[in-house]
Every structure is written in C-alpha cells, then in structure tokens.
Amino acid sequence: MTRLSDIVCVFRIQLMSMRAEIGPFLLAALVFPSAMYLFANAISRTEGTEQTRLRFLAGSIVFSLSLTSISWLGYLLLENRFTGRLKLFVTLPLEPSSYICGFLVFAFVQASLGTVALLLLGRFFGVQMRPSLLPLALVVLLTVLCLCGLGAVIAARARSFTEGSLLTDALGAGLVFLAPVYYAPEMMPRSLRGVSRLLPTAFAARAVETTLAGSYAVSTDVIVLGLMAVVTLGFGFRLTKWREN
C-alpha cells in the first residue's frame, strides 16, 4: 500500500503541474495535431477518400502522443531535474521506481485524454471508423512508454534546461515528420526509406490506423513497440541523475 500511495502522490504532483500549465498541454495534445490533420487533408491529392482520412487521423493521434510524451513530458522531466525537484523526491522516503511509475501513469492519462479528444474530433470531421478499443489502448500504451523513454534519455543527458527543451521539441516533431505517418514510404528519398520505417512512430501510426479500421492485426507492431519500450525506458531511467554532481 505504501508503494501505491507513493505512485499516486507522484501522479498528483504532475497532474497539478499540468493544471497550472494547461495551455501548452492542449497545444501539444490537441491543437497542433488537429491542425496537421486539416493541413494534410487539404493538400492531399486524394482528398475525401475514407482511407486517406483514416490515415491522417491516425497520424494526428501519433503526433499528439509524440508531442506529449517527448516534448511535454520531457520538459517536465527537465524541469524536475534542473529546478531541484528530483533531488527533493530522492530525499523523501520514496523509491525511484515509485517516481517512475507515477510519472508513467501520468503520461498514459495524458495520452488517453488526447487520443479520446482526437477520436471525437475525427467523428466531427466525418471520418468513418470503427475502432477496436482494446488493441488501440495497447498500442497507445506501448507508444507512450517507448516515447517517454526517449524523452527520459534527453532529460538525463542534456547539459542545460535550454538544450534539453530544444532537443525534446525537435525530437517530438521530428519523429513524426521523418516517419511515413502522413504519407507513404515511397514518397521519401530512397536513402531515408529504410530508416524511416524503423522509427517507433512508423510502427505506431500503422498500428493505430489498423485498429481504427476495426482490425486486430497489430501483433507485429505491438511486439516491436514493446521491445522498443523496454530498451528506451530501461536506458532512459538508468541514465537519470537522481543526484547531480
């Protein structure tokens, strides 16, 4: 019970931080991804086809997950580190694992809010979908874990708050724009196609699109995202400096 209480406390602390800065969260989770959906749909040569709309909605969901998990949550990790909050957590009778779990619970709650909002927005825009909810939830969870790990790596290795903020912003958007999320892999230069298909956002976008179409055939993408999550999270929090030198 003590461990669970610690996790809940960490979650509530992060939630209070989000409530105090709700504007940036809404921009990352909803406004920018919605704008990208409208932009992609507007310039698409196949505008109006249901498959295209579904792909763009899946891409916007992944864009939201990437911005909130890397840019926004990475910013919070950087803030905890460079303002001394992380040292305060350590001086409390709080295990690092409780801090990590509380932070990840907060990350998944954020991702759930953003994903549900975009699904409702997709309905409003007339996107025809019949989402398989359990596979979709699993894909979102694994995507968030994987991307949070990348954010944790940056937050742990950044030499300054400014440097870390720039890197998390660049990676949060770059992993979407460099992956075949809003466009087919064939539209990229040959030298980048192989690399782009290996990005976690590429697997996530394909899996989200599949689940939005009502299919459960996401086993390969789920396995890959799961392995990536284990590697990035393990590496990220192993590098985390609980006490600065």
Residue 195 in this model has a pLDDT that exceeds 90: no
What's the pLDDT score for residue 9?
78
Q: Is residue 116 part of a domain?
A: yes
Tokens of 22: 């709700």
Indicate the number of domains in the chain: 1
Boundaries of domain holding 56? 2-185+192-239
pLDDT per position as a tens digit, 17-36? 777 778 888 888 899 999 99
Evaluate if residue 46 carries a pLDDT over 60: no
**Inter-residue contact 236 to 151 (CB < 8 Å):** yes
* 48 part of a folded domain: yes
Residue 199 lies in a domain: yes
CB neighbours of residue 115 within 10 Å: 25
Helix, coil or strand: residue 224 = helix
Name the phi and psi angles at 127, rounded to 5.
-70, 125
Q: Model pTM? A: 0.89
Distance in angstroms (rounded) separating the CA atoms of residues 144 and 155 = 16
Best-predicted range by mean pLDDT (13-17, 180-184, 187-191): 180-184
123-161 per-position pLDDT tens digit: 998 888 888 889 999 999 999 999 999 988 898 888 888
- pLDDT score recorded for residue 58: 94
Is residue 244 assigned to a domain? no
Instruction: Please check whether residue 200 is in contact with residue 220, taking contact to mean a CB–CB distance below 8 angstroms.
Output: no
CB-CB contact of 15 with 106 (8 Å)? yes
- Residue 244 pLDDT grade (very low, low, confident, very high; cuts 50, 70, 90): low
Q: Is the residue at 245 inside a domain?
A: no
Which tops the pLDDT comparison, 44 or 145? 145
- Could you tell me the end-to-end alpha-carbon distance of the chain, in angstroms, rounded to an integer? 33
Confidence tier at 99 by pLDDT (50, 70, 90): confident
Specify if 231 maps to a domain: yes
- Distance between CA atoms of residues 225 and 140, nearest Å: 10
For residue 222, tell me if it sits in a domain. yes
Give the per-residue pLDDT at 17. 73
CA atoms within 13 A on the CB side of 82: 18
**What b/e sequence results for 56-85 when a residue is b if at least 16 CB atoms lie within 10 Å of its CB, and e otherwise?**
bbbbbbbbbbbbbbbbbbbbbbbbbbbeee
Q: What is the Cα 71 distance to its own chain's centre?
A: 9
pLDDT digits (tens, 9 = 90+) for 60-89: 999 999 999 998 888 888 887 777 666 666
Cβ neighbours of residue 201 closer than 8 Å, sequence gap 6 or more: 62, 66, 143, 175, 176, 179, 181
DSSP codes, 59-111: HHHHHHHHIIIIIIHHHHHHHHHHTSHHHHHHHSS--HHHHHHHHHHHHHHHH
In a domain, 106, yes or no: yes
Return the higher-pLDDT residue of 93 and 77: 77
